[in-house]
Amino acid sequence: MAAIGARIRLVACAIAFMVFAAVIPVMAQQPNSVDPNADAVKEQTLLQQMKRIQGLGTIPDVKSYVIAQPMGRGWRQFREGWLPWIGAIAILGMLALLVIFYLWRGVVRMESGRSGVTVVRFNLFERFVHWMTATCFIILALSGLNITFGKRVLLPLVGSTAFSSWSLAAKYAHNFLSFPFALGVISIFAMWLSGNIPNRVDVEWFKRGGGMVGDDHPPAYRFNGGQKAVYWIVVLGGTAVAVSGYLLMFPFYGTNIANMQLAQVIHSVVAVLFIAVMLAHIYIGTIGMEGAFEAMGEGVVDLNWAKEHHSLWVEQEQVRLEGSELRRQPAE
Ligand code: HEM
């Protein structure tokens, strides 16, 4: 019995020794096996696992205690992911459509040729307001697009020094030119409102494709259906970018972080769609239609151009001018 007991003790000791021998090196290796890049210490994983990361602070601005919040992450995804795609598709898509249209339709010519007689279309004040607003718009568009695309497109091409100098200047331009731009939008609204109320003539104009297909000339008053659409896009789009832009420019004046995110989404999406529409407006006012640029350049158009594109307006003008002629006669 004593011999059996001694043998059991011996086997138990041997097993204990073997287990010890196997475990000690594992224990000894443990500190080295901690991976410093493990998930638990990765910031991104931490942010994903915790919906909201908020701390305590000593400055009065309690908003600054929030480091991350779910809606902020959604907004960042829009700002870095969706927005560049929406912008690129809208702007490059419009450019592609205009090239295709130009190749297919060519320049819309003055069919009856020039008459040599001109009609006043826009006075000096109207042209001043138009060009002030247009110049501001182009600079706002380029400086705004730099905020959306500059880091991806321009920075690799020009390097960080040139990019930062240009971006600083662009940002100043974006802030300061917003004021004449907003003034221009208000003036355009007031100045051309009476000529831009939609009516039945516009429905007919749209039904006939604005005369763009073939050599059709649907009648129109001073502004045709397409021009009225551009007017309302400028007035409503201009108001939307101005209101959202000033909310961004003066952060947290009556807004919280959710309102600020919404303002950025509205500002950027309306802006890129606005740019796309204005490209079409610039196309038709320059290379797209013979005789159109003169209206805003010199303020006058050829009578035949006016008859082809704004026949009802020409009739109204003739009546108005004859009326003033008649009014002048008794005084003579
Ligand atoms: C009253 C007029 C406007 C005001 C007050 C305004 C203001 C602002 C402000 C404060 C920002 C943010 C800048 C920053 O993040 O540092 C911004 C961004 C931007 N603006 Fe304007 N803006 C105006 C008009 C326009 C117009 C007319 C356009 C385009 C035609 C435009 C296009 C953009 C674009 C594309 C961005 C960048 C959006 C982004 O990527 O986050 N803005 N604007």
| 261-300 pLDDT per residue, tens | 999 999 999 999 999 999 999 999 999 999 999 999 999 9
Q: Whose CA is nearest to atom 1 of ligand 1?
A: 242
- Residue 16 has what pLDDT? 61
Distance 175 CA to ligand 1 centre (A): 8
Quote the tokens at residue 1. 């019995």
- Closest ligand 1 atom to the C-alpha of 137? 27
CA of residue 158 to ligand 1 center, whole Å = 23
The rounded Å distance from CA 48 to ligand 1 centre is 30
At residue 170, the pLDDT reads 98
* Residue ranges in the chain modelled with pLDDT below 50: 1, 20-31, 325-332
- The residue contributing the CA closest to ligand 1 atom 29 is 141
Taking Cα atoms as reference points, which of 146, 149, 132 lies closest to residue 187? 132
Q: Which pLDDT score is estimated for 30?
A: 47
The residue type found at 40 is A
Tell me which long-range contacts 205-213 makes (C-beta under 8 A, separation of at least 24): 211/108, 211/309, 212/105, 212/108, 213/105
Helices (H), 33-123: 43-49, 70-77, 83-105
For atom 43 of ligand 1, the residue with the nearest CA is 245
Instruction: Give the nearest ligand 1 atom to 275 CA.
Output: 30
Gap from CA of 66 to ligand 1 centroid (Å) = 26
Q: Is the dihedral of CA 94, 95, 98, 100 positive or negative?
A: negative
pTM equals 0.83
Give residue ranges with CB within 6 A of ligand 1: 79, 83, 137, 140-141, 144-145, 147-148, 171, 174, 178, 181-182, 241-242, 245-246, 248-249, 264, 267-268, 271, 274-275
Does an H or E element contain 176, and which? Answer: helix 160-192
CB 252 within 8 A of CB 238: no
Tens of pLDDT, residues 144-197:
999 999 999 999 999 999 999 999 999 999 999 999 999 999 999 999 999 999
